[in-house]
Structures are given as C-alpha cells and as structure tokens.
A and B are shown apart, each in its own frame.
Chain A
Amino acid sequence: MEAFNRHAGLVLPLDRANVDTDQIIPKQFLKRIDRTGFGPFLFYDWARRPEFVLNQPQFAGASILLARANFGCGSSREHAPWALMDRGFRALVAPSYADIFYGNCFQNGLLPVRLTEAEVEELFRRAAEHEGYRLTVDLGACTVTDDFGFSASFEVEPHRREALLDGLDDIGRTMAHASAIAAYEAAHQA
C-alpha cells in the first residue's frame, strides 16, 4: 500500500449526496480479476453525459474529490476505491462516508477526510469561485488547507492514521499477533 503523508492537488467538486458504489463503478466492470484498470469506468453512467464534472477540461488531473454526505453507500465492492485511485484520486473530502467504503479506502492508501457540513459547503463555494481550485490534505497535521486562508482540522482513528502514514499492510501487522490467534483457536477449539 502506498503511504500517505501530505497531498496537494486539484479539487473535483461532485455536488451530490448519497453517492453509492454502483455509481462509482457499475457492476458490469467488476468482472476483472486485477486491482487495476478500473479508472476509465469511474462514474460510468454519469460520465456518459458530456456536461458531467469529470468530463470538464478544467478538472483534468484532479486528485481530491469533494462530495456530499454518505459517500460510498451500498455495495461493499473495493473496486470503488480502486477505480478512484486508478483515476488519480488520493484523497476525498465529504461530511460522511458509508462504513464499509470508509474502511476500504484506508486499505488502499486513499484518504477519506471528514469535515463538517458547513466546511464542505464552504469548499464547494470556493471551488465554484476559483478556477483551478486546489487543496492540501495533511495527514500528519490532520488539516485541510487552501491558498486563500481556508483551514480545517479533521479527525481520523489513530490506528488508521498510523497505518496510512507508514503505508503498512494489515496482514503484516496482524502476523505480530500470530501466537495470540493460535492461543485463541486452542482455547476455543476453533
């Protein structure tokens, strides 16, 4: 997994709530057996309309996705963060995420930042106002900042933060507890 420390990038504002993983990557693209190659199909149904934000040239190369509440609801498919990352996104900013999606992002080095509704509203306003609007997401300091004086801090579970800062893979971390797992199995005849 790629480590995440600090990332500055162009913002793609996706002004929708309850974006589900069927929209992020529709099922007809889940049949691949690799983790890569999903990027071209990101938001496939919406992206067929030329006016969809993802198609607008001023957002080409965006790496921070700004969205509304309950982002990533629905199916558990990890193809959703894979598709986002494959398309070049490194961080998400939204008021809230569905639980499974939230965990899946961390597993892949994609940082889902939670800000308040008011802060997200402000960021949408600024993204509309400034062409080429950029944000800096700093996981070390747990802050989101822009070049115009916006600054907000966010909370993230300490273990998720550390794992992402180090780019540590969970299985390696768990193997340190191998004897505890064996002891559990022995005690529970599992």
Chain B
Amino acid sequence: MLTLLDKLWSRHTVHQEPDGGPTLLYIDLHLVHEVTSPQAFEGLRLTGRQVRRPDRTWATLDHNVPTADRHLPIADPIAAQQVDALIANCKAFGIPLYDLHAPQQGIVHIVGPEQGLTQPGLTVVCGDSHTSTHGAFGAYAIGIGTTEVEHVLATQTIWLDKPRAMEIRVDGRLGYGVTAKDLVLGIIGRIGTAGARGHAIEYTGTAIRALDMEGRMTVCNMSIEAGGRAGMIAPDDTTFAYLEGRPHAPRGRAWTQAVDQWRQLPTDPGAHYDTTVVMDAAAIAPQVTWGTNPGHVVPVGARVPDPQDETAERALAYMDLCAGTAIEDIALDRVFIGSCTNSRLSDLRAAAAIARGQRVHPRVRAMVVPGSGLIKAAAEREGLDEVFRAAGFEWREAGCSMCLGMNPDILQPGERCASTSNRNFEGRQGSGGRTHLCSPAMAAAAAIAGHFVDVRALARTPESAS
C-alpha cells in the first residue's frame, strides 16, 4: 500500500544511498527562468559541462519583465542583462525558450501546465519555490536553488531526502463565493507557515476532488507557504480532461496508454501518511491576511487579532494596523490581480464578474495581469479586458508583475494593496509596501469599494459563483 509520493519516488529513483541516505532522483521536466539560472549556466561554462537533456528543459521569461510597453527595450539595464543572459544561454545550450514576443510567454508555473508539459507522474523542478503548483497534476514538483539548477542541467538528476507524507483532507463543499485561494489560506491559517515543513502534502477529500485544475493549481501553489516541500493532488478525470489536446500532451495511442498509467498513481486505500490534517470546506469563509506572513490570516468578517507573539506585534506595526480593526474597514490604495497563484482564466472571470458595470474607487489604482500571453488572448476573446478597462482597471501584459516587485510594477512605501499573489512578506511588493492576500473576486470587490468587502454579500451572478 503506497502513497502517491511513494510511487512517484520509487519510479524516479536512479540510485539510493544506504542507511537512510539521500536518493538520486531522475528529473523529467526542468523549467528555467531568468532570475535563478544565470549563475548555473555560468557554472556549466566554467567546468566545460553540457546540458544533458535540453529536450527536457524549457525556459520562459517572467520575473523581471515589464508588463507594459513591450515594444520598447527593457528600461532597467540590469534586468535587461538578465533577460539577455537567458536568451543567450538557451541559444548556446539548445534549450527551448518562450521569449518576450512569443504568444505563449508567461509565468513559468502557468506556462508549463498550459502547454501540457506538466503531466501526471512526472518529476518537475524549477529554480522557484512555487514549483509546487505543478503537483496539482499528480507530479512531484519542487523548487530548487541555483546550484541544484546547475546540477539538474548537467545530470538531469538531483539528490534529495525523501520528505514525509502529509495528508490534508478537505471534505464537504466550499460555500458560495469561497474559492480555492480561500481554501489554501484557510489551511495555512490552520497549520501555520511551518506546519508542513519536511513534508510533501497530498490534498485529498471531496472538496479537493470538486476543484477544477485551475483551483487545484492555486492550492498546490501555496503549499510552500505552509512550509511544505511539495503539494500534490492525485490525477483523475478532471486532470485528464484538462490535459487532452494540449500541445505537449501525448496523442492517439500514446494518450490512452498514458492515461492507463496515470490511473495507477493515486494513493492506495489504507496507505500510511506520516501526518493527517482534516478540514471542513463548508466552514471556510473568504480569507484576508492582516500581517506579514501568509499564516496571519482571518475570515473577511473578522477583526485584526490581538498579537500573540513578537512576530505578530512587529507585523501589526509594519502593516500600520491596530488589533480589533474590522477587516472590512481596511482602506486600500492598490489592487493587484495576477501571479502564478491567481492569474488564470477562471480567476480573471471571477474578478470580471465583480467588476462588470462598476467603477474602481477613485483612491485605488488597480491592475490585472494575466499569467500568460495565451490567457490574455483568451480573456480578450471573451471581452474581459473591456470589462476591466471600463471599470478603471489597468490591463497588462503577462508576467510576475507586482507579485514580487522585481520589475517596474511595485508598491510605493506605505501603500496598502489587496493582492491575489502568495506572499505578504515585508517589502515583497515594493519596499515599505503593505500586502493583504485574498482571492481574485475579493480583490476586485475591494478595488470597487476602496476597502475589503465580503463578496458573498454582493449580488449573485453566474460568473461570480465559480
């Protein structure tokens, strides 16, 4: 009786050191972006090593890139240097790259699944902690450091200690207006930001099964914020339906064979998890963070809690908030809808459903940044860009944008932002900026009201119910 983790692990073991030592694990898919790769390529060059499997390596530009005026050269010379370095490295080592002018360009964790590169049963690595996103397909997907990027480029393997297996079982149904984002924030609120340290999380239960692939990716994405090494969801018909026909998915007979194999992946009944956490989906309300780590989270109807420790006290000071303030009374300057957590088509639809026919509050500057060029095009075909623009949101090109403030999209010191991204660390979106994490619908509603509101109180429309 094996868990999904056991199966993925044993199928990729090249070599096992004795006595509980590390495993040399084969890597099926290596995703590369501009920020964490230049030193790795430089290392290869210095040692005269080659990329072992350029055909299993894919690169995209996302972290540094401007999300406006793409026809102009990148204004920041150091960012431009990093972008140019990736383009040159991909060329030199024969690695496929979606550059700034490719229609598929976008955030690495959006592009992999969208292109069908991410598949059940694979091992996936990337020099980025949110690689856990790809686990939504039943893959073992982890973020790695730059030295490990170099190691995978050179050997297509990585040395890893097998993590412990944690089951997070969520049964029941999410309420109206409650999304995958609220679910994962609720989980982090429950287990804490180090709650899954040393573990690979497998999400199970009826509420997880009921999520579409985009929602599953949102949940797995933030596994790292719960301290997990990876997050996974066993593949099922929802997974296969999403994948079928994608550019890199198997076709014809190969597809049928692949699906047969993928059906073997789910955890065997009765298999042992080292830790199990059980949650009730119906008890989860829309969530908003109030502090400086994702565990500082409460339901939208709650108040900023009394600080329980020094970290929380410091967080309140940084966020310029007082304990006891109602979340709905927190006024905002900026709204960011985007990032690898929440920039897929369903996220944009949920936000547009709230924004339709409304106006962004005069004090608020709001932007919507699709996760990839293809999502942007699909949203435009549905007229979502028009909905956003008419409501006063900025509609921008694909990239990480204000998720991390490494490109021109940043918060000014003291600005307060409702953000659909995944990290509310001090200065994450710009030095001195204050971030409140929430779902796309909650962010859109906050943009219009100028402060947080409970989306469940807004009129039900077919789109906003998704």
A residues near B (Cβ < 8 Å) are 16-18, 20, 22-23, 26-28, 30-35, 45, 69-70, 73-79, 81, 96, 98-100, 103-104, 107-108, 157-159, 170-171, 173-175, 177-178, 180-181, 184-185, 188, 190
Asked if A100 meets B194 with Cβ closer than 8 Å, knowing A23-B426, A28-B405, A174-B24, the reply is no
**Residue from A35, A45, A70, A175 within 8 A of B197 (CB atoms):** A70
Asked if A69 meets B425 with Cβ closer than 8 Å, knowing A18-B293, A100-B143, the reply is no
CA distance A107 to B150 in the complex (A): 11
- Say yes or no: A75 contacts B129, CB within 8 Å: yes
Number of residue pairs across A and B with beta carbons under 8 Å?
165
Give 3 closest A-B pairs by Cβ, nearest first: A33-B38, A107-B147, A104-B145
- Say yes or no: A103 contacts B148, CB within 8 Å: yes
**Which B residues touch A107, using CB under 8 A?**
145, 147-148
- Say yes or no: A76 contacts B143, CB within 8 Å: yes
**Which B residues touch A158, using CB under 8 A?**
19, 21
Asked if A27 meets B404 with Cβ closer than 8 Å, knowing A20-B293, A73-B227, the reply is yes
B residues near A (Cβ < 8 Å) are 14-15, 17, 19, 21-22, 24, 26, 28, 35-36, 38-39, 42, 47, 49, 56, 64, 76, 78-79, 81-82, 85, 127-129, 143-148, 150-151, 154-157, 159, 161, 163, 193-194, 197-198, 227, 229, 293, 309-311, 314, 404-406, 423, 425-428, 431-432
- Say yes or no: A177 contacts B147, CB within 8 Å: no
- Say yes or no: A45 contacts B427, CB within 8 Å: yes
CA distance A51 to B26 in the complex (A): 48
Report B447 CB to chain A, min CB distance, Å.
Answer: 24
- Say yes or no: B127 contacts A76, CB within 8 Å: yes
**Residue from A22, A175, A178, A185 within 8 A of B428 (CB atoms):** A22
Q: Tell me whether chain B's interface is mostly helix, strand or loop, or mixed.
A: loop
**Which A residues touch B147, using CB under 8 A?**
78, 104, 107-108, 170
Interface centre among A158, A184, A188, by most chain B C-beta atoms within 10 angstroms, is A184
Given contacts A18-B193, A34-B42, A107-B148, 20 further A-B pairs with CB under 8 A are A20-B423, A20-B425, A22-B423, A22-B426, A31-B76, A70-B227, A74-B423, A74-B425, A76-B143, A77-B145, A96-B194, A99-B227, A100-B143, A158-B21, A159-B22, A159-B159, A170-B151, A171-B49, A171-B150, A173-B159
CA distance A74 to B197 in the complex (A): 12
CA distance A155 to B153 in the complex (A): 31
CA distance A74 to B404 in the complex (A): 12
26 A-B pairs with CB atoms under 8 Å apart are: A17-B309, A20-B425, A22-B426, A22-B427, A27-B406, A28-B406, A31-B64, A35-B42, A70-B197, A75-B129, A76-B144, A76-B145, A77-B36, A78-B127, A78-B146, A100-B129, A103-B148, A107-B148, A157-B21, A170-B147, A170-B151, A177-B24, A181-B157, A188-B26, A190-B28, A190-B56
Report A40 CB to chain B, min CB distance, Å.
Answer: 15
CA distance A175 to B52 in the complex (A): 12
CA distance A141 to B217 in the complex (A): 44
**Which B residues touch A177, using CB under 8 A?**
14-15, 24, 157
**Which A residues touch B76, using CB under 8 A?**
31
**Which B residues touch A98, using CB under 8 A?**
194, 197, 227
Report B88 CB to chain A, min CB distance, Å.
Answer: 11
Closest A residue to B404 by beta carbon equals A27
Closest A residue to B129 by beta carbon equals A76
Report A173 CB to chain B, min CB distance, Å.
Answer: 8
Closest B residue to A97 by beta carbon equals B197
CA distance A70 to B294 in the complex (A): 14
**Residue from B127, B194, B425 within 8 A of A22 (CB atoms):** B425
- Say yes or no: A35 contacts B49, CB within 8 Å: no
CA distance A49 to B51 in the complex (A): 44
CA distance A28 to B427 in the complex (A): 10
CA distance A171 to B145 in the complex (A): 14
- Say yes or no: A184 contacts B26, CB within 8 Å: yes
